[in-house]
């Protein structure tokens, strides 16, 4: 016996099939998007928080600085510099060398990380460096040219905020600039500018003093 399906009934069945297919496809795409988001979050958690901390406040033991509160444009520039080998190229910059493999990222991944870090709450870091803040104030005059009298940075000229950053990290990077371990790559334009500005700091005592002064600018 041959069963015939009326045209209207067939049309309803066809529409129902289309709707079911659309729902299944939408669900699949939604799950795929969630999977991609989870993969991105997993990558960030696995690699970024391992060194920089789950709160993004840094880890002195492995010289990983605070990321929470860092300007998005500056974080992006540093990730791109690490990826390109512009930063972390000097054999004495051990922390920079360790960071380079972590920065083998696509532009999209860098954007994801910058957005993700931008969601962290900023909290000032603990003071670990002792120095003469009064002496440091006079030394900071050169720094203020780019980083501002309040050490809040200047995006227009690519100078990041210094206030509130880990003081041990600031001291380490100043010493790296002075020693030529950072800012000497031919393509590191901003690093070269910074390397030229640290000539006023003659020894580690000067570094401690200027960092102590920067500490005094940030309410704790």
| Backbone dihedral angles phi then psi of residue 128, each to the nearest 5 degrees | -125, -10
Q: In DSSP terms, which residues pair with 154 in a beta bridge? A: 159
Mean pLDDT calculated for residue range 42-59: 81
Whether residue 78 has pLDDT greater than 90: yes
Q: What whole-number distance in Å separates Cα of residue 55 and Cα of residue 49? A: 8
Name the band, by pLDDT with cuts 50, 70 and 90, for residue 22.
very low
pLDDT for residue 46: 59
75-79 LR contacts (CB < 8 Å, sep 24+): 75/113, 75/114, 75/117, 76/110, 76/111, 76/114, 77/158, 77/190, 79/103, 79/105, 79/110, 79/113, 79/114
Q: What whole-number distance in Å separates Cα of residue 106 and Cα of residue 199? A: 36
Q: What whole-number distance in Å separates Cα of residue 92 and Cα of residue 158? A: 25
Task: Output the pTM of the full model.
Answer: 0.80
Mean pLDDT calculated for residue range 129-148: 97
Whether residue 38 has pLDDT greater than 90: no
pLDDT for residue 43: 53
Whether residue 71 has pLDDT greater than 50: yes
């Amino acid at each position: 016996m041959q069963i015939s399906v009326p045209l209207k009934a067939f049309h309803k069945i066809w529409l129902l099939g289309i709707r079911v297919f659309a729902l299944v496809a939408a669900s699949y795409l939604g799950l795929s998007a969630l999977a991609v988001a989870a993969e991105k979050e997993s990558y960030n958690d696995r690699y970024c928080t391992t060194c920089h901390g789950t709160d993004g406040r840094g880890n002195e033991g492995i010289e990983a600085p605070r990321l929470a509160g860092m300007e998005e444009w500056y974080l992006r520039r540093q990730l791109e510099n690490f990826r390109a080998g512009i930063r972390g190229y000097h054999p004495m910059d051990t922390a920079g060398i360790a960071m380079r493999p972590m920065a083998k990222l696509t532009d999209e991944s860098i954007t994801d990380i910058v957005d993700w870090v931008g969601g962290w709450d900023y909290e000032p870091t603990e003071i670990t460096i002792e120095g003469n803040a009064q002496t440091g104030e006079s030394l900071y005059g050169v720094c203020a040219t780019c980083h501002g009298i309040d050490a809040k940075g200047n995006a227009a000229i690519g100078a990041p905020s210094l206030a509130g950053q880990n003081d041990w990290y600031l001291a380490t990077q100043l010493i790296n600039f002075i020693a030529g371990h950072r800012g000497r790559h031919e393509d590191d334009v901003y690093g070269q500018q910074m390397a030229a500005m640290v000539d006023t700091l003659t020894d580690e005592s000067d570094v401690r003093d200027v960092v102590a002064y920067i500490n005094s600018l940030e309410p704790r």
